[in-house]
């Protein structure tokens, strides 16, 4: 007998990712108020942030009283939309605290580690096939989260979906705060005068060049959110959907290389991005486990009892043999 998705053992309708998102917006609002003299029309940013907080609360409360599939979809997927909007906001808030770039620091670190500028050194391997493949890998980042999230959502694995979205949110929000505290524009701007080879390719090279020309956010290079978020998806795919994990593994590894090869990031950005991705997953796991113990599981998967979900959770995080079948 098919059961409806219902709330169970919950003391409030908020999911962990809702709380983390609201907390992030409050932190940014506090920074805006403190450094408002450095941010023109700061009132608009505050107003939009409070509006978003209000909408999050409204969505969760309305969903608390409804079984609407549309509301459920919005509640689960709105963080993905906000990740992009908040990143675009960095273009305006990057100098809110400090008035200049700190690129000289990662440039010196990279040069001390390798004795060369990695983005310049890698241009010797340039060819149209390699260029286009790595640009494809770099662009694939845009659909990584929807691919895994969509598979978990379609399967009704709400716990896996929630852990994925929570870990991604923590990772993104930590990166965005660092962007403001430590403004870095990246080698695309700072080392362009040293490059002697144009990266030529085909469809994916043209696509990424179009995106970079019309949608590039100036700032937000360290840590690399491409690397950090991709690592989060990779780790969660390993836990919750092995088939997707093995499918995306070579692309994600190529993406890590593409961030430097394509001149978007310093190697330092990649290293810190890997660190932020791991921290995001670790904090996401800790927070979600705490939430389950103190608040209760948000909802039951269709056709599965609470006991079934607990057994699945224990098998996953107890590293039993059932983990290997997570992609079935």
pLDDT digits (tens, 9 = 90+) for 234-253: 999 999 999 999 999 999 99
Angle at 13 between CA 7 and CA 16, to 5 degrees: 105
Say how many C-beta atoms besides its own lie within 10 A of residue 289's C-beta: 13
CB 262 within 8 A of CB 138: yes
Which pair of structure tokens corresponds to residue 101?
A: 């770039």
Q: Within a domain: residue 41?
A: no
Average pLDDT, the chain: 87
Q: Within a domain: residue 316?
A: yes
Q: Where are the alpha helices (DSSP H) in 128-224?
A: 128-155, 158-181, 187-190, 203-215
Q: Within a domain: residue 190?
A: yes
CB 214 within 8 A of CB 207: no
How many domains does the chain contain in total? 1
Instruction: For residue 50, give Cα distances in angstroms to 11, 15, 97, 100, 298.
Output: 24, 18, 21, 28, 25
| Domain around 245 | 99-325
Helix (H) or strand (E) holding 111: helix 104-114
Mean pLDDT of all residues in 251-263: 96
pTM: 0.86
pLDDT at 91: 92
CA 16, CA 169: separation in Å to the nearest integer? 10
pLDDT at 11: 54
327: pLDDT strictly greater than 70: no
pLDDT at 204: 87
320: pLDDT strictly greater than 60: no
Mean pLDDT of all residues in 290-307: 58
CA 239, CA 233: separation in Å to the nearest integer? 10
Which pair of structure tokens corresponds to residue 75?
A: 């509640």
Sign of the dihedral defined by the CA atoms of residues 131, 137, 141, 147, in that order:
positive
- In tens, the pLDDT along 60-115 reads 989 888 888 999 999 999 999 999 999 999 999 999 999 999 999 999 999 999 99
Please give the full DSSP string across 26-72, using - where no structure is assigned.
HHHHHHHHHTGGGSTTHHHHHHHHHHHHHHHHHHHHHHHT---HHHH
pLDDT range class, residue 121, cuts 50, 70, 90? very high
Torsion of CA 50, 56, 59, 60, to 10 degrees: -130
Q: Within a domain: residue 297?
A: yes
Say how many C-beta atoms besides its own lie within 10 A of residue 157's C-beta: 20
pLDDT at 325: 41
Instruction: For residue 192, give Cα distances in angstroms to 49, 197, 258, 268.
Output: 36, 10, 16, 17
Q: Where are the alpha helices (DSSP H) in 185-322?
A: 187-190, 203-215, 225-240, 242-261, 267-294, 306-317
């Amino acid at each position: 007998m098919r059961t409806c998705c219902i709330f169970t053992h919950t003391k409030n309708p908020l999911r962990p990712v809702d709380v983390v998102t609201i907390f992030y917006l409050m932190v940014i609002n506090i920074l805006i108020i403190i450094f408002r003299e450095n941010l023109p029309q700061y009132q608009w940013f505050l107003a939009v942030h409070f509006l978003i907080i209000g909408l999050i609360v409204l969505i969760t409360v309305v969903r608390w009283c409804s079984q609407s599939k549309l509301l459920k979809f919005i509640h689960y997927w709105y963080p993905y939309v906000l990740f992009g909007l908040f990143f675009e906001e960095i273009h305006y808030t990057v100098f809110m605290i400090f008035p200049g770039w700190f690129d000289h620091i990662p440039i010196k670190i990279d040069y001390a580690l390798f004795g060369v500028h990695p983005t310049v050194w890698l241009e010797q391997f340039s060819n149209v096939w390699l260029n286009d493949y790595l640009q494809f890998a770099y662009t694939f980042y845009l659909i990584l989260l929807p691919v895994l999230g969509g598979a978990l959502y379609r399967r009704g694995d709400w716990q896996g979906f929630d852990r994925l979205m929570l870990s991604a949110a923590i990772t993104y929000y930590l990166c965005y705060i660092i962007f403001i505290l430590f403004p870095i524009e990246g080698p695309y701007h700072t080392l362009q005068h040293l490059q002697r080879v144009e990266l030529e390719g085909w469809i994916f090279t043209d696509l990424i060049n179009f995106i970079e020309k019309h949608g590039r956010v100036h700032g937000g290079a360290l840590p690399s959110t491409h690397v950090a978020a991709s690592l989060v998806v990779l780790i969660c795919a390993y836990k919750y959907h092995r088939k997707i994990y093995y499918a995306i593994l070579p692309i994600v590894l190529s993406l890590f290389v593409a961030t430097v090869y394509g001149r978007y990031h310093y190697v330092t950005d990649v290293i810190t991005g890997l660190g932020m991705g791991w921290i995001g997953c670790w904090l996401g796991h800790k927070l979600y486990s705490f939430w389950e113990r103190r608040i209760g599981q948000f909802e039951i998967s269709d056709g599965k009892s609470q006991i079934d979900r607990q057994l699945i959770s224990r098998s996953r995080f107890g590293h039993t043999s059932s983990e290997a079948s997570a992609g079935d």
